[in-house]
Each structure stands twice: as C-alpha cells, then as structure tokens.
Amino acid sequence: MNPLIVFILAFLLFVTKGLYTKPLVKAFQRKFGEIAGYWLFTSLFTVFLAIFVTLLCPGIYFVRWDFPLKDFLPFFSLALLSSIPAIPEFRDFFHPKSEEERKELELVKSLTFAQAAVIQVISAALPEELTYRYVFLGLLSLWNPLAGLVGISIFFGISHKFSHPTRRWSTLLFNILIGFVLGWAYLYTGSLLLVMGIHWLGNMLPWAYVKYESARKVILGTAALFAVLLPVIFRNELIKAADYLSGVYSTGGLLWGTFVGFSMLGIVYAELSMLKRRGSKA
C-alpha cells in the first residue's frame, strides 16, 4: 500500500486512540495500577500499531536489530548537547511551586533504579520510538527522508506542549532537537535498539541526578565530558552521518517537512479543542 496513505491511517489511529481504547486502558489500570497500567497499555498499543503498519506497508521494515556502538556514542553525545535548552526548566524542577510539582519531585526521588528503568522503557523508549521513528518517520522516509525527519521532529517536539502545557518553549526546542537527533540516527543506522537506547539513557540521567544527591557532580561532569569528547573521538562517524544528511537534503523536503509537522499539530489541536468543548457541555 502507498506509504503516505498508510501514514495518514496510522496517524489517525494514533491521535484518536483515546476515543476507542478507554475500556481497555481502565482494565489495565485496575490490574497494574493507574500509572503502570496506562503505560503498559500504551506500549502494547504501539506494538500492535507497528505490526499493523508493517503488514500494510512492508517497505517500512528496514530495521537492523544489532547495536552499532560506534554510532551510538556520537549520536548520544549530540542528544546530550541538544538538552542544553532544557537546563532552565530542569533547575525549576528542584523548586516546586505547587503541591502537585512537589509530589512529582518526591515521586521521582522515591523510585528505585529498577522502577525508573522500567518506567522509562514503557513510557518513552519503547512507545515513542515505535510510534515516532519506526511508524511515522519510517513511512514518510519512503516518500521523502528529509521531509519525514523535519516533520516528525517538529511534531515530536511541539506536541509535548499538549501534555505539558506549562513547559517552557526553550524545553520544547530541546524536544525538537532531540527528535531530530533520534530521527537522524534511525534513518542513518536503521537500528531501533540504538535510538531506544539513546532515548532511555537520556531520560535516566536526569532521574539519576535527582535521585543521587551525593553523586550529582560526578553525573553532571561525566555527561559534560561525554558531550564534548565523544564528537571529537568519533569525528569520522559523525562526518559519515552528516554526509548521509547532505545526501537527502533538498529545499522541497525541508518545506514539505515543515508543512507536514505543523499539519499534524493542527489536527491534534483541533481534536483536543473538540474534546474540551464536549467536556464543557457535559
């Protein structure tokens, strides 16, 4: 089937899932708890979505199941560098302004390593990489790799505003940048495990910084060292990755990607506005 048609279908299934999966979500929450149940169902849903899309458009399955360490390290360093715009909001996290923010901080501190690791898998690394990189970017890349990369990066970044309305715009810039790095890494390597690993480790570092107060200087110093040294050490790998990017670049792809990204955001915004109006009438 045409990848663009499958993309539209997959996107509509994704953005409307709240309308037809509520009973299943509630069943999972009763069995596994409110938070774990929700994210377990979300992960399971994205697995089935990925399988469904692959059956409709087998060309999307260009996945490698190895873990190219020489590519992981330089892309991880780029992910660390892209987090710089999020530093002000991360600092705010330590100074909660409301009871809800205080509880969130205490919850993060209370998690064990195993709990945090599992939560980051089922809430971010698995569902987001399957949805945004494998399904959405994979389908669009069969049409235009750059358009897919730009469009999904924009959507991945700014759509976080819907779930985190108080988030700073500088943090949304970070979300766009990290979305671009993850998408670039996926298109270049074809490794889902690699981008899942970057996403998981990138989320675990802030948790570790919050959790282990006595080791904060070590964690921060190590992250800074990785961000600065790895691009130098793996310069040749980054040059090859940049060559790939220049090879798929086109002005048309850039413009189409921008159009696709903001169109996706517009559809989600329209859906949320409609649901809000329905809720106010009820």
Place of tokens 């469009």: 151
Average pLDDT, the chain: 94
Place of tokens 């205080």: 102
Please tell me the distance from the alpha carbon of residue 245 to that of residue 184, in angstroms, as a whole number: 8
Task: Please report how many Cα atoms fall inside a 13 Å half-sphere around the Cα of residue 199, on the Cβ side.
Answer: 29
Q: Choose among 140, 168, 144, 166: nearest CA to 155.
A: 140
pLDDT of 163 > 60? The answer is yes
Please tell me the distance from the alpha carbon of residue 188 to that of residue 144, in angstroms, as a whole number: 14
Kindly report, residue by residue over 205-248, the tens digit of the pLDDT. Answer: 999 999 999 999 999 999 999 999 999 999 999 999 999 999 99
* Confidence class for position 93, pLDDT limits 50, 70, 90: confident
Q: How high is the pLDDT of residue 281?
A: 62
The CA dihedral of 182, 138, 189, 181, to the nearest 10 degrees, is -20
Helix (H) or strand (E) holding 60: none
Helix (H) or strand (E) holding 201: helix 192-211
Please give the average per-residue pLDDT across 18-37, as a whole number: 94
Q: Which residues contact 228 (CB under 8 A, 6 or more apart)?
A: 77
User: At 53, phi and psi to the nearest 5?
Assistant: -65, -40
* Confidence class for position 165, pLDDT limits 50, 70, 90: confident
User: At 94, phi and psi to the nearest 5?
Assistant: -80, -5
Q: How high is the pLDDT of residue 275?
A: 75
Using left for φ > 0, alpha for ψ between -120 and 50, and beta otherwise, residue 63 falls in beta
Please give the average per-residue pLDDT across 79-86, as a whole number: 95
Classified as helix, coil or strand, 212 is: coil
Please tell me the distance from the alpha carbon of residue 77 to that of residue 230, in angstroms, as a whole number: 6
Q: Are 181 and 75 in contact (CB under 8 A)?
A: yes
Q: How high is the pLDDT of residue 100?
A: 85
Q: How high is the pLDDT of residue 274?
A: 82
Kindly report, residue by residue over 97-128, the tens digit of the pLDDT. Answer: 888 889 989 999 999 999 999 999 999 999 99
Classified as helix, coil or strand, 191 is: strand
Residue 251 one-letter amino acid: T
Q: Choose among 268, 11, 267, 16: nearest CA to 163.
A: 268
pLDDT of 280 > 80? The answer is no
Residue 79 CB neighbour total at 10 angstroms: 23
pLDDT of 282 > 60? The answer is no
User: At 33, phi and psi to the nearest 5?
Assistant: 100, 160
Residue 92 CB neighbour total at 10 angstroms: 14
* Confidence class for position 279, pLDDT limits 50, 70, 90: low
Please tell me the distance from the alpha carbon of residue 49 to that of residue 57, in angstroms, as a whole number: 12
Classified as helix, coil or strand, 64 is: strand
Q: How high is the pLDDT of residue 211?
A: 95
Q: Are 181 and 74 in contact (CB under 8 A)?
A: no
Of residues 191 and 272, which shows the higher confidence score? 191
Beta-bridge mates of residue 191: 64
Q: How far is CA 126 from the centre of its chain?
A: 9
* Confidence class for position 271, pLDDT limits 50, 70, 90: confident
